[in-house]
Structure 1
């Protein structure tokens, strides 16, 4: 009996180790988290890329989905013409990795959700790994002569939209403030002097923090 238990433990360890790359964790994502793609679809993406072919499959809506980037720890999937899925494997400690997922929808202005999972696809609290930027993070404080212009420029902003992008080259997460894209030309121009459009976070000691 002890030998059987030990064998099961070793098998589970081997499976876990094999799943520590972006390709494997994506293929094994639960269908509930990948409603448009079957497991066969997900397997086909990597097969096409490995064969130097364009990685395009027909999804469950009879539309085309394309995997544009796949590395050992990152992937970018254009799920539909207006939505995308990004995945990044992040080192939590010496032996454990977690998955960061960015789901983005553009209708037409882009907005993202940032989620975290174990490598077995159990969702874990995002607040443990990042403090999402509030809207004030993207504004530069006006000087005393600009206060009225600043307040007038901010007045049309009645929603908060944020596009997130994981880097394929490093462990950075970039946020772009996309709400101004809803504004007309004159409103956007008036707002521009007070905006910091992009904010970069870096993965450090098991957490995303604002880059210095």
Structure 2
């Protein structure tokens, strides 16, 4: 990777994260100072927030480990703006697929940064429009028809996400049989969740599935079940 680009993008990313963290912590601090509602003790904070930390720290750790290799330097703006799994990650993967770029390359990193930036701007504009139109559109949004339609929103969202991840494109290669990796982890999570509900333990489940996915992918690759075929040599490609 070009050193000048790498230094510049990491410098901008770190500055952006510092500014974001300052706003996230600064606004509650200002409100607490103005209204004099500071917590009585650090023990009180840890007692209330301890349960949330136990749930979200493993999840955050799993996301950083699993998403950063795909996101590249766009991870800075991705984790700052949120909506990683349902918006940013699919945008990056589809952008790599459409442009034929590879993760970890200068081109792939640039495409990922552009796609995440475009997604963040689009999301922000939609939120602004939604806030402005929330009151005028309230009769429509609260109608029984819309309420019924929104009940299918989450399943359709995750269905579309699954389909977007099922393509076998991996930049310069086609990973034949790649989708076989997800079968065992999906079955295990489904069965375990029936016996022992994983609610609140999603982070630990994701970390375990990551390790299992890597192991399964390695075994299938060694068994020649997963094959990495250069795109130029894939069927339908000109020599």
Give the TM-score normalised by structure 2. 0.22
- Which structure carries more helix by proportion? 2
Give the TM-score normalised by structure 1. 0.24
- Which structure carries more strand by proportion? 1
Q: Which has the higher contact order (CA 8 A, sep 6+)?
A: 2
Higher CA-based Rg: 2
